[in-house]
Structures are given as C-alpha cells and as structure tokens.
Structure 1
Amino acid sequence: MGLLAHERYCDEIVSGTDALRAAVRGADLDATVPTCPDWTLRELAVHVGGGHRWAGEIVRTRAREALPDERVPAFTPEGDDPAVLDAWLADGAARTAETLREAGPGLEVWSWYGPDRSAGFWARRMAIETVVHRADASLAAKVAYAASPDLAADTIDEWLEIVACAQADGDPEAAELRGAGRSLHLHATDVPDAEWLIELGEDGFTWRHAHARATVALRGPLTDLMLVFNRRLAPDSDRVELLGDAELLDFWLARSSFG
C-alpha cells in the first residue's frame, strides 16, 4: 500500500472516466443518484468532467489561487445530447491527464489542501475523485462496479489524510473526532496487509496501517471497505462484517463528511 506513481494516477483519470462513461451510456440521465440524492446522473457526470477540466486548467496555467469556473474552457458540455456529454467527458479526462503528465508531480500550483500544493496532488485527487464517483454512477445505472486494490486502498489513505488536515485546520465536524480510548479497525479480507487502525485521542485522531483490537472493526473486501468509508455502502450491508461498537463507526462517518 502507499502512493501510486504519478503516471498511474494520470492513467487512472482516463481509464476511470472511460468506465464511468460506460456506466452512464444508455442509462436514464435524469435518474436520481442514490448516494448523491441532490444530483441526477447527468449532473454527476458533469460534476466529474468539470472537476477534471478545472484541475487541469489550474495546472496548465500554473495558478496560484483558485480559478473561477468561468475561466475554465468548456467547463460544461453544450446541450443535453448524451453523445455530446460522452465526448466531453472523454476529451476532458484526456486533456487533463496529458497536462498532468507534462507538468510532472513536483510542479508547484495552488490547491485547497495545504500540505500539498502540487500537480501531483491534483493527479491523485482527480484519480480518486473519479473512482469514487464512478461508484455513484454505477449504483445509479445499476451496473457492476470494481476498483483496483491499490487505488481502493489509496482512496482510504487519502481520505484519512484529508480528514486529519481538516481537523488540524479546525473544521467543526472533524474537530469532534476525538476521545481517548476509542479506535476503529478496517481489515480487508481479500488483500494482504490492507488494514487501517484509527485511534481517537484527546487532541484528535491518528491512523496507521496495523492489525490490532479496536472498539469497532469493519471487515470485508477492500472495495467494499472503501465504499463504506466513503459513505457509498451502508455499514450494515451484508457485504461487510461489523464487529463491536457500531455507533462509533456511525460517529466517524457522520463527522468525516464535511464539504
């Protein structure tokens, strides 16, 4: 487990978008997305594609501050034609991946994540954004979903890093993730060494890859653990096994959903 190569993240933006396009193609674009009920399937797809183009433009222009949407070329597709949407998604992913490849991971640019203001941050963030929202699209379109093990694991790592940063920055929900003596353990049953131990302390929480007894444990296939952790699969699903204090897991999920 650990960070993937920059080129791999760039590749995942394209291949993940291709998979999302396949899920959306032929589906009812006006259908509500169960895991993002404020969005239709079309709106979800536009959110993903717009995010790609926004991140790509930040890197292309070496931006030092957030870009307003209107400064991003073709930020939204023209019209409601599904074929136009499909082509727009493909083009945006390809352009963004190419921009990130040319920039390299170390290029300094603006990001909303203080510990990492680089093109490498955006490559990783867009790859993970795509793999998570692809799950949303697959659920809405009622098609199968799978994620590669290393990217699924990295999705959990990245989210823990973001939540920890938010807690340090004083986010009010993340700030509540504390309390000595409580812990959570995630244990993938299909991938060796894919385990996480999250320990809540008086000053906040810490996490590491470890196998240990915890207040609550969640066991199951790695992709399903990732989906639960991202609030895409209910913790009481029969696809995972929940042991111990279920309320603590609910507490964590409710307070790590900021933004």
Structure 2
Amino acid sequence: MTLRGSLSHERYCAELLAETDRFRALVRTGDLAAKVPTCPAWTLADLARHVGGAHRWAGVLVATRATGNVEDEDVPLGDGPEGDDAAALDAWLAEGIEHTVRALREAGPEAEVWTWSPVRRARFWARRMTHETAIHRADAALATDAGYALAPEVAADCLEEWLQLCALPEMAARQADADDPLFGPGRSIHLHATDTAPELNAEWVLDLTGDRFVHRRSHEKAAVALRGPLTDLLMVLYRRLPADSDRVEVFGDRALLDLWLERASFE
C-alpha cells in the first residue's frame, strides 16, 4: 500500500498551518466548556488539547527521526497549559504547530521516521496531521455553530486517505465480522460528489465483493450510492454527519452503507 497523497509535501505543510489557524480561531472565540457533539466525552477545551498534543507528538517523531513510538509523557508540553484559558491554549497551539511544520519542512517528504502505518516517511505525518486537523476543525465548528468548508482538492485527498487507511490489515478483523457479513457478491458502495470539477475525479467505488476491502476512483453502478457535496460525503464517512442528513442522498441498499460506516472505524 502506498498511502501516498495527491498534494505536495509543501502543500500539506501549508494546509496544516492554515487548518490550525482556522481551528485556533474557533477555540479563541468559542465556549471552552461547550460539549463537542461528535466527540461527546470532550469539551471544546479537551478537543483543543487533543489536537495540540497530536501536533506536538508528530513533531517530535519527525524532528528526532524516531525509529519507534514516542510516549505521550516524552512529548514536551504535550498536555498543554494548566487551566482552560483561551489565550493560553491558543498560544500553545500556535507554538506547537510552528515547531511541527518546521520539522516537516526540514525533514522533507522522504525522511525515514516511525509511523503506525506501513509508510515510514515524514510525508505520512504531513498528510495525516493535515487531515486530522481538518476533521477536528469540523468538530469544533459543530461545537460552536460555525460554518465549515474545505478546499475541494483537500477534501478529496482527505477522503482518499481515509479509504486507504480503511484498507490497512489492522482494519480487516473489524470489517470481516462473520455474524453480519460485510463482504460478498454484489456488495459495493458508490460515492459521488456532486459539486466538483470533472478533473478532480471525485467519485469512488468501495468494492466489497471479495474477501477484503478495495477501492478505486470510478463511476460505476453499485448496491448503494451516496451522493452529495464532497465535504458532506467526507463528513458522512467520518461519521460527523449522519447518512440520513438532508445534505446527502442515499440510493439502494442503505443497510450496507450503515454497516460499512459502523465497521470502517478505528474506535
């Protein structure tokens, strides 16, 4: 598996900074005690600490060219400042992402570094942290009643990355539950973005007809189709938007789509 993205390393670094700036704006102006509806165990302050801690952890991995995982307690200032002061959290987020992006740029995309995926390169972290931040910005937007949008090429790459991650071997056991089979003849899902330029090729087929998940960019008939704006399709796959939302349309075997959404998770 390549887990290679469609954007350049520098574009990921720039998007990571921009996404963090947008996330920080929501933290600065939002109610830090507000519950995050898509992460119900967290407040907005908890979400900010999670995002900032992930940035600093990835930054340490890249900066040190780690050959193995780095424990949370070994990440300097990984827990963030004491208390829930918006200005302090904002400054901590800003400092952490600056260090992380600097480490990514200095390392370059092909520097060897530990990851939890088969791809042991710094480019994995540039892409992963970009999309991690983008999805959690959606969580913050929901917690603060703010608008949310992603550039189409970023949203498409985020969706593609999620499908690539879902094809990793560690996902196989969750997907292949014998009591309620996900795989079998004729079982497929078509994702169709309705708001993008043709050159973006924002259509995917999730092929479940064999004994493992594969996907491809294609316009094909499938057992179930999910249609809607690209960012909304992404939010459905990440379970930030329900599949019965009026922002998307489902045609065909809705139970198959629901089963996929249940199984395609690292939780």
TM-score (ref. length: structure 1)? 0.95
CA separation in 2, counterparts of 1:170 and 1:235?
Answer: 22
- Picking from 59, 62, 68, the partner of 1:59 is 62
CA distance in 1 between counterparts of 2:61 and 2:112 reads 10
Please name the residue that 1:173 is paired with: 174
Which of the numbers 53, 78, 87 marks the counterpart of 1:75?
78
Alignment of structure 1 residues 1-40 onto 2, 5 Å: 3-40=6-43
Contact 1:53/1:96 (8 A) holds in 2 = yes
Match of 1:134 among 128, 137, 157: 137
For residues 251 and 59 of structure 1, the distance between their equivalents in structure 2, rounded to whole angstroms, comes to 36
Distance in 1, matches of 2:185 and 2:98, equals: 46
CA distance in 1, matches of 2:93, 2:11: 19
Number of the residue aligned with 1:118: 121
User: Are 1:163 and 1:174, in contact at CA under 8 Å, matched by a contact in 2?
Assistant: no
1:43-84 Cα shifts (integer Å, max 9, x gaps): 111101100000010010111110011111111222221100
SS at match of 1:237: coil
1:97 to 97, 101, 105: 101
Match among 75, 84, 89 for residue 85 of structure 1: 89
Distance in 2 separating the partners of 1:79 and 1:169: 36
- Could you say what secondary structure the match of 1:25 adopts? helix
Superposed, which structure 2 residues align to 1:200-219 within 5 Å? Answer: 200-219=208-227
TM-score (norm. length: structure 2): 0.93
Structure 1: 5+ residue stretches without partners: none
**After the TM superposition, which segments of 4 or more aligned residues of structure 1 sit over 3 Å from their partners?**
none
Structure 2 stretches of 5 or more lacking a match?
none
Shift of 1:230: 0.6
| Number of equivalent positions | 256
Cα offset, 1:6, TM superposition? 0.3
Q: Alpha carbon RMSD of aligned pairs, Å? A: 1.4
- AA paired with 1:181? G
Residue 96 of structure 1, CA deviation: 0.5
CA distance in 2, matches of 1:202, 1:208: 14
- Percent of aligned pairs sharing the same letter: 56
